[in-house]
Amino acid sequence: MAATPAVRTLDQARAHYSLHEYDPADGADGHGYGEVAVAALGADPARVFKTLVARVDGALTVAVVPVSGQLDLKALATAAGGRKATMADPADAERSSGYVRGGISPLGQRKALPTVVDDSALTFPTVLVSAGRRGLQVELSPADLVRLTRARTAAIARP
């Protein structure tokens, strides 16, 4: 399996992690990429996090929220020190991160962006996020996720 930029970031930081591979086509009948990962891995949707790219006052910002919830754009704007947040155009997210939609990892992005991780991640010993391609998740400690993305944590998800 070829190492993605996310995996290389973890290796360079000597972080403890495990990779979980699955067929991204399994259960893809109209479900989002995060839901497919949850179903394929039999994981708790509160422990699997999706990476979303938004614009806060026009600047690209990464939000990491549980698959079981939705991004609260107002809360993201506040957490990022802005006034207004909107979802970024998918092409902008792909161009900035260097990953394709459905495989965007918060780790190893082409351009380091301000990142906010939902504080619910801190309640788990490990969480899963995209490892940089569809069908590959990485399990790591929330502390490593926050440290390696230079993220702040805040309540940015709603059920």
CATH of 15-158, one of 3.40.50.12780, 3.40.50.300, 3.40.1410.10, 3.90.960.10: 3.90.960.10
Q: Considering Cα of 111, then 133, then 150, then 9, what sign does the dihedral take?
A: negative
Distance CA 114, CA 61 (A): 5
Distance CA 44, CA 69 (A): 12
| pLDDT at residue 99, as a whole number | 97
Among the residue ranges 18-27, 48-57, 120-129, 130-139, the one predicted with the least confidence is 18-27
Is the pTM here over 0.75, yes or no? yes
The band of 24, judged by pLDDT with boundaries at 50, 70 and 90, is confident
Return the percentage of the chain with pLDDT > 70, whole number: 95
The band of 12, judged by pLDDT with boundaries at 50, 70 and 90, is very high
100-129 pLDDT, tens digit each: 999 999 999 999 999 999 999 999 999 999
Q: State phi, psi for 141 to the nearest 5 degrees.
A: -75, 150
Give CA separation, 121 vs 15, 134, 135, 140, 146, in Å: 17, 21, 21, 11, 10
Distance CA 153, CA 149 (A): 11
